[in-house]
Amino acid sequence: MERVHPLPLGARQSAMPTRASAMTRVDITLFNDFALPKVAALIEIFHKANVLTASQQAGRVRYDVSLLSVAGGRIASSSSVFVWTESIDSHRGTNDTHLLFIAGGSGAQEASGDERLRIWLRHRHPFSAIVHPIAEGRLLLEAAGLPSRYCPLFHDGNEARDPYPARSRNEAPAAVRTALRIIEKDLGPELARQVAESIAPQRQTPFSASIARSVAPHVSEKIMASARWLEANVDRPISVDEAARLAAMSERNFLRRFKNEIGLTPSDYLLRARLNMSCRMLVESRLPVDKIARRCGIGSGGQLAKLFRKYLATTPTDYRLSKEASPSPLA
């Protein structure tokens, strides 16, 4: 397992863009026989963010994505799809923030032997806020004697906000999750949610309708924020008092407002958010039921099974088996 190298504590604040109007350069290094799907997902994520912010940026692009290769020109992916790239020699750094992603794929081993690419990586590495290899892309960094540099937001104490919490600090985050976290930092959680939904609509579960109520037009901003906070913290014990403080309300007023606007009590909403995530993880991952239960704040596989029998008249294992024939969304 690759060890994660987060930035030193003192450097984390300067490692990420802080001005909403700043340009961020996204450099993606490719080679022949690179794996296309994750690269395509990254391009789509930053493109969607640009589209959604176009009206606010007065025509200026928020993320400028460059596809790079040693010689430039046409590069073949492992699926025989060709893309056009710029040469690393002609691509110069700027004063803008640079994020460097390195593609994975079957061609990574051969590419790691290219001295020109190793020299360029050594030159670009110190000037990139993030250096994120995708799968086999780590071979290129290893050949150049360089560490990965992942998004510091995965190590800022907010890991519980991840859709799939409890990830080991020694485990590399997925490039798609990194890109979405960057957009959340730059442009806010709601826009990041819209981008994520546009590229990979979340699988519907029996509890999706309950969760969707928090985006209804009649829900106030404070109650919507508290509902999102409950969803983001499903993996840990939560008190109603915490949620009320987040909404800047008394506990009594918060309970009344939440029930009136969402249609559920905060406790019921939290339970359904946990069951919603459990349903998704059962279908979208191969994790054991007990581990899914713990990651969703339910405690144990036995407790999750009890809740499934109560609300769905089935077991977590049978639910998983019944959905296996359906295509799963982008991980």
Cβ distance 140 to 111 under 8 Å?
A: yes
pTM score over 0.85: no
Q: Which domains, and CATH codes, for the chain?
A: 9-191 (3.40.50.880), 208-323 (1.10.10.60)
- According to DSSP, the β-strands at 130-133 and 63-69 are unpaired
**48 contacts 198 by C-beta, under 8 angstroms:** yes
Rounded CA separation 296/271 (Å): 10
Average pLDDT value for residue range 319-324: 85
Please determine, for residue 24, whether its predicted confidence score (pLDDT) is greater than 80. yes
What is the rounded distance in angstroms from the CA atom of residue 260 to the CA atom of residue 254? 10
Torsion 49-53-54-60 (CA) sign: negative
- Structure token pair of residue 58: 């007065």
**Amino acid letter, residue 292:** I
Q: Strand order in 97-102's β-sheet? A: 73-76, 82-87, 63-69, 24-29, 97-102, 130-133
Q: Is 293 within 8 Å of 261 (Cβ atoms)?
A: no
| Cβ 104 vs Cβ 38: under 8 Å | yes
- Whether the CB-CB separation of 229 and 237 falls below 8 Å is answered with no
Q: What share of the chain in percent tops pLDDT 90?
A: 44
Q: Quick check: 282 and 316 in contact, CB under 8 A?
A: yes
Q: Is the pLDDT of residue 154 over 90?
A: no
H/E stretch holding 32: none
DSSP H or E stretch at residue 99:
strand 97-102
pLDDT band of residue 52 (cuts 50, 70, 90) is confident
Q: What is the pLDDT of residue 73?
A: 93
For tokens 């295509």, the residue is 327
CB atoms within 10 A of CB 71: 12
Nearest to 293 by CA among 310, 317, 274, 309: 274
Which position has the higher pLDDT, 78 or 190? 78
Which one of 9-13, 14-18, 126-130, 139-143 scores highest in mean pLDDT?
Answer: 139-143
CA–CA separation, 48 vs 42, rounded Å? 10
Q: What is the pLDDT of residue 72?
A: 92
User: Does the pLDDT value for residue 321 go beyond 60?
Assistant: yes
- DSSP per-residue string spanning 161-220: GSSS----TTSPPPHHHHHHHHHHHHH-HHHHHHHHHHHSPPPP-TTHHHHHGGGSTTS-
The Cα-based distances of 132 to 78, 79, 135, 199, 276 in angstroms read 20, 22, 9, 20, 30
